[in-house]
Amino acid sequence: MRRKTIIKWLIFLIIVAAGFSAYAFRNKNTTSNESITAVGSTALQPLVEAASEEYTGRYSGVFINVQGGGSGTGLSQIASGAVNMGDSDLFAQEKAGINPTGLIDHKIAVVGVAPVVNPKVGITNLSSKQLIDIFTKKVTNWQQVGGKNIPITLINRTQGSGTRVTFEDFALHKKQSAVAQEQDSSGTVRQIVSTTPGAVSYLAFGYVNNKVLPISIDGVKPTVKNVISNKWKVWSYEHIYTRGKPTGLTAKFLKYLETPNIQKTLFNQLGYITVKDMDYHRDWQGQVFKGSGV
């Protein structure tokens, strides 16, 4: 009888010890219940969403809310203090109405932007002049630039979009795109271009798939390699702005985005380029310099 009692006590002590070990392990990987919100660039959104899912899966008790809305929204929201992170394809200094004082720029990645068309238009390359003529509606049929006899349907991002600013600055050489249908989501743009004969727009590399056709400009293909060497000049930094020095979960998540695991896996999978891998860097006024700038 005494032996059975001793065995029961030993089992009880083992269970208690295991419980303490599990609690200690869980506690080590738990951040006190915190939640943060990131809003802005839809070009950066896939990376932030994927990284946040990995982070919250690894650390319990945290929540990261990721929303799009465009770079203008991200900058205005972080400037007003409404969110923890403002995602943007633009430098804060570029956006009218935004006071960059007090905002801290965290350059997370570089992304290329490519003109994309419906695969049925019958072209794979345009000269710079032809591209400008299409987006300013001087050319209205693909037959005029060597394609099929299909009217051109122009799709733009909204005025607050950093992707649009990048495209107009570096693909259209600061010419404004003509008035046309506007969309505030890169995913919606891709869907419309893929299902509309004659459609043309522009997307960050991460949104380009086999349902749309990326177009070369003057024989230069929109590839990661060409962005790194600045042969493909239509690219931008992906910024996360914070209001002042980040703290708490925001600081931890930003540090997580810089880890080798994220930069070697998610960046490659989603078409982003690490800032340190760039052969050139660009300032907020658009001037390009040799070296990554890191």
Sign of torsion, CA 106 111 113 118? negative
Q: What is the pLDDT of residues 263-287, one digit of tens each?
A: 888 898 898 999 999 999 999 999 9
Q: Domain ranges in the chain? A: 34-109+236-289, 112-228
34-109+236-289 and 112-228: identical CATH topology: yes
- In the CATH scheme, what is the homologous superfamily, with its name and number, of domain 34-109+236-289? Periplasmic binding protein-like II (3.40.190.10)
Helix, strand or coil, per DSSP, at residue 233: coil
Helix, strand or coil, per DSSP, at residue 216: strand
What single-letter amino acid sits at 47?
L
Asked whether the beta carbons of 205 and 42 are under 8 A apart, the reply is: no
Looking up tokens 């006190």, which residue turns up? 32
Calculate helix-pair angle for 260-270, 45-58, nearest 10 degrees: 140
CATH topology of domain 112-228: D-Maltodextrin-Binding Protein; domain 2 (3.40.190)
The residue among 93, 120, 110 whose CA lies nearest residue 195 is 120
Which residues touch 263 (CB under 8 Å, ≥6 apart)?
274
pTM confidence score: 0.82
Residue 60's pLDDT band (cuts 50, 70, 90) = confident
Q: CA-CA distance, 78 to 72, in Å (whole number)?
A: 10
**What number is the average pLDDT over the span 173-191?**
94
Q: What is the pLDDT of residues 214-248, one digit of tens each?
A: 999 999 999 999 999 999 999 999 999 999 999 99
The pLDDT assigned to 20 comes to 42
The angle formed by the CA atoms of residues 225, 155 and 142, to the nearest 5 degrees, is 80
